[in-house]
Structure 1
Amino acid sequence: MGLVVIVAIAAHMFQFGLLLAFESLKPDLNKMNPIEGIKKIFAMKNLIELLKSILKIAFLTILLYYVIRNNLADLLKTPACGLRCVPLILGAVMKDLVVNTAFALIVIAGADYAFQKFQFIKQLKMSKDEIKQEYKEMEGDPHIKSKRKHLHQEMLSQNMTNSVKKSTVVVTDPTRIAIALEYREGETPLPIVRAKGQNLIAKRIIEIAQQEGIPIMENVPLARALHEQASVDQYIPSDLIQAVAEVLRWVAQLQNQR
């Protein structure tokens, strides 16, 4: 019977490997909680493990029964044969028992491995589905995403409108670029770029400037240079100060004419 136990241990190690869990030796108050204990007892995973253990024991018991039954005739001859036959008969029985038990444990280990793999793949699939669901909840459905994008665009448009309203002049490359500049003498050391854009954004900047009565000056080289070198809400680059100063003088002349 000791050989059967050794074979069982070997089959378990073949399936799961040598597992040393020293963490389990640490005291845990949750393990002393009777409610938690009841939950663990009736957990689906534990019920499945219990059912597997019962099936394994039943299978090995049936196997042991058939081995003994097949060798029963030889065992009954032992008293008549005497002590000299005992080692031979018991050896044959043990050999038959060990071989069949080892084969049975290998089959059980293989079936258990296949079941564990199936459970792992199922759990992995569930995890992927949970991630997809979480991502969907975070991102929202297409309608919500579209509405969010629309609101974001409205906010950007509103911010740009407010920025252009602050500007003193808009410099344009009339076909595709518009730069809104703000300069308040005594308040801003240098002109500040309040808004800039190309194509549709440039068109929108020009429309706002026209609605607000902000001067618009066509200056292709300056507009392109500002678009490439300047950043929104930052002072203009030092090498463009002279060119921008000429634009501001033009704005001052317009205001004087009014």
Structure 2
Amino acid sequence: MSDGQEKTEEPTAKKQEQAREKGQVARSKELGTLGVLLSAAIALIITAPQFALGLESIMAMQFELDRNAGFDQMVMFQLWPKVGSALLKPMSIFFGIVVLGAFVGNIMLGGFNFSMQAASPKPSKMSPLKGFKRMFGPQAIVELLKGLGKFFVIAICSYFLLKWQFPKIISLSEGIQPVIFADALKLVGFIFVLMVLSLLLIVAIDVPFQSHKHHKQLKMTKQEVKDERKNSEGNPQVKAKMRSMQMSMVMRRMMQDIPQADVVVTNPTHFAVALKYDPNGRDAPRVVAKGRDEVAARIREIADEAEVPLLSNPPLARSIYYTTELGHEIPEGLFMAVAQVLAYVYQLRAFHSGRGKRPKKPSSELPIPEDLQFDEEVG
């Protein structure tokens, strides 16, 4: 709903696409009419020789009939196939060109568009009251003015064209068959073409008018633009709910992966990252869980319950947290630091299984590149 607002905004791509689906495209009846008439005139000139031969053949057949044939009703039915075969080829070419011209003329403005919604019957168009309003509405007045304009333009052009070509029309009576037929049809086609071209003035006015009218109808109010953007982007509350659900699913999967981790590096309180490494694979260690504050506390709690080693190293914990996404491999710059941590974890496992002595914890100053170091307050 526009709520009384002015339509000052340009139509969006979505609004234009919806309009095309409804069959609402810019169309000019005058351009379509020009296409039909001009193609008919050109087709008449092209097929004139063939029409002349066909008409000559038909006249010859009629003159060859004897007196008794005029009283035989079956003769007419016998002549029809011959008449049809004589005119079949020129008529096919003629109507083929006209159909093509009609199609091109009607899609030149607005392009080709087929809409089932526009083709389906609408009860509103059957309303007598609405039909009466259309008959005497602004659009009807515009169509009336265009009709009068076409009438006067064609009438004036016809007068001058006939006056110009009158000597040629008179000279046709001096011709011979079948040339006279071809010349007459070509002359009619030539006059027809010039008469049709006189409609270019009306078409030149109507096409920009219809384009402007269609564009104006598609314009939107500021509120319509906002509503469309809101609908296309989704309701903020719904999107927030979906994000919350997605985060919950990620958190559940993350917490389920912690017991399979090799080590959890902590801050020790603000950050926690769980790392998993497959010695038999070719991949680098990757992050299976990470979080800060309450999430970090939950990671430490699950790791402790699953007897996953916890190692406090604030610089490394912050570096992994800020540089590595969940499920991704750690950056190459942290390989040396994480390798020392994993070596400690493997030695610790051996100690607990009775296959070695207790290892020393890695140094608090692990080799972390300067560009991968982060302060406590970052993020």
TM-score (norm 2): 0.36
Larger RCO, structures 1/2 (Cα 8 Å, 6+ apart): 2
More helix by share: 1
